[in-house]
Amino acid sequence: MFPLMASSADIPLSGLAETNGTVSVGTLAPPLVGKDITERAITAETFKGRPVLVDFSSLFCVSCQQTIKEFARLEKIYKATDLALVVVTDSMTSPKVMTNTFGGLGATYTVMRDEGAKLFDSYGVKIIPFQVLIDRQGIVRKIHTGFDPELETVLGLKEFAGLAAAGGK
């Protein structure tokens, strides 16, 4: 079953959460394994020891499109850090369309096409967009649903990535 799509009118579907029933803050995140849209293998080792911000989205969802654009903006800010940005999309969109969409944004972050919704299921994604912030040890630190134009602030990314102490923007 495909997750619900949150919209700006769906205020109850948006915000920080401690759990979604499958993943919880303070617990080990399920591994991000599969392939990116260029067919490169993504293994448990790919992001080992790095903080990761994962967004579960679909190109058919307007709120997701806003989040994907926000990730492109965040990538420019956090490129000098080791924060990994990962977008996991449904498999309903062709790899060519995905490559054109993300390439058009100038995005170089990892985009995974979730064949069979394995990652959506392992993270218990019921509402999209859905973000999970994972620390270097693989522990879930924040869970957020919906689009928020202040996502960087809501998730505390500057502090999380160490930019505040380093005088980052």
Domains of the chain with bracketed CATH: 4-33+50-160 (3.40.30.10)
Q: How far apart are CA 66 and CA 24, in angstroms?
A: 25
pLDDT, residue 23, reads 93
CA distances from 5 to 14, 16, 114 (A): 11, 16, 17
pLDDT, residue 168, reads 46
User: How many other CB atoms are found less than 10 A from the CB of residue 12?
Assistant: 9
pLDDT, residue 11, reads 32
pLDDT, residue 25, reads 94
pTM: 0.86
State the sign of the Cα–Cα–Cα–Cα dihedral 3, 115, 31, 61: negative
Q: Which residues have CB under 8 Å from 24's CB, separation 6+?
A: 18, 140, 143
Tens digits of pLDDT across the chain (169 residues): 455 554 433 333 568 888 888 999 999 999 999 998 888 999 989 999 999 999 999 988 899 999 999 999 999 999 889 999 999 998 887 778 888 888 888 888 999 989 899 999 999 998 999 999 999 999 999 999 999 999 999 999 988 887 644 444 4
pLDDT, residue 12, reads 38
Q: Is 157 left (phi over 0), alpha (psi -120 to 50) or beta?
A: alpha
Look-up of token digits 């995905």: 98
Q: How far apart are CA 54 and CA 46, in angstroms?
A: 13
pLDDT, residue 15, reads 83
pLDDT, residue 13, reads 58
Q: How far apart are CA 68 and CA 101, in angstroms?
A: 10
